[in-house]
Amino acid sequence: MRTANRSDIGRIRLVNEDRAWVGQLENGITVAIVADGMGGHQAGDVASQLAVDTFRESLRDYKDPLDPEQAKTLIRQAILQANEIVYEMASQNDRYHNMGTTVVAAMLFEGSGIIGHIGDSRAYRLHDGRLRLLTEDHTLVNELAKSGQISAEEAANHPRRNVLTRALGTDRHVEVDVKGFAWTPGDMLLLCSDGLYSMVGEDEMLAALLDAEPNLDGKAERLIELALHAGGDDNVTVLLIDHAAGDEEEVIG
């Protein structure tokens, strides 16, 4: 599998509170995570970095083979451990009070994948020329749209569209959404913060991913450029994984 990981501070923010990482376990499973931090006094970047580091460390020594159900348990446990660590730091340090982060993570096998997420960072799967959203935003506006109180168009432009109903690190206990999906040769996985999809429509994202000219790094850079060109109102992070033969990822060590 080939991977590309790009992040940009955007045109408005003073600090990049997004963090991302992709690597490979010793058992050959590819693992990736994107976190979008929140909190004043630069606490957001602390929360997102801590979540990524904890997630990574919790998987460091795992070498045994995994079936999909075991993978679901493992990714949930890794995210919950990150929640515990971020929550404890926020509780013990006034500077970090109420800090938190979104998180979307993936574990990829040869024929299947697992997504775990909290918040509004997203995962998309490109398959047979179509881009499909794999996650469901944990936001107030999404809840209103699901209940029929507002339309999809109203949701896209709602002034409170960034209000989260669930985040990592803000509460001692949190629910992690975990789901499996098919992962076949030729597929591509996109993990991203809301700085991408809030500025770039899915049609534009699809066109950038399907463009045969740039390599995977070029596709990631193109997506960042589209978000910046549209205004760059937020930090923007793009992590791409291509189900094709290529360079080996970093092995967790």
Annotated domain spans of the chain: 2-129+166-242
> Rounded CA gap, 143 and 201, in Å?
21
b/e sequence 183-201, b meaning 16+ C-beta within 10 Å: beeebbbbbbbbbbbbbbe
Question: In this predicted structure, what is the pLDDT of residue 26?
Answer: 85
Question: In this predicted structure, what is the pLDDT of residue 147?
Answer: 72
Identify which of 241, 238, 242 has the alpha carbon closest to the alpha carbon of residue 186: 242
Question: In this predicted structure, what is the pLDDT of residue 21?
Answer: 98
Give 2-129+166-242's CATH code, choosing from 3.40.50.300, 3.40.1190.10, 3.60.40.10, 3.90.1150.10: 3.60.40.10
DSSP label at 162? T
**Does the structure show a pLDDT above 60 at 60?**
yes
> Rounded CA gap, 252 and 59, in Å?
8
Confidence class for position 13, pLDDT limits 50, 70, 90: very high
Identify which of 12, 48, 10, 8 has the alpha carbon closest to the alpha carbon of residue 237: 8
Question: In this predicted structure, what is the pLDDT of residue 28?
Answer: 86
**Helical (H) or strand (E) element with 104:** strand 100-108
pLDDT in tens, 226-238: 999 999 999 999 9
Question: In this predicted structure, what is the pLDDT of residue 251?
Answer: 60
Once rounded to an integer, what is the mean pLDDT over residues 130-136? 97
> Rounded CA gap, 73 and 96, in Å?
29
**Does the structure show a pLDDT above 90 at 249?**
no
pLDDT in tens, 142-170: 777 677 777 666 666 666 667 899 999 99
DSSP label at 98? T
Contact by Cβ (8 Å): 32, 75? no
174/161: higher pLDDT: 174
Question: In this predicted structure, what is the pLDDT of residue 160?
Answer: 66
> Rounded CA gap, 174 and 207, in Å?
36
Question: In this predicted structure, what is the pLDDT of residue 31?
Answer: 96
> Rounded CA gap, 224 and 247, in Å?
22
Residue 117 three-state SS: strand
Confidence class for position 244, pLDDT limits 50, 70, 90: confident
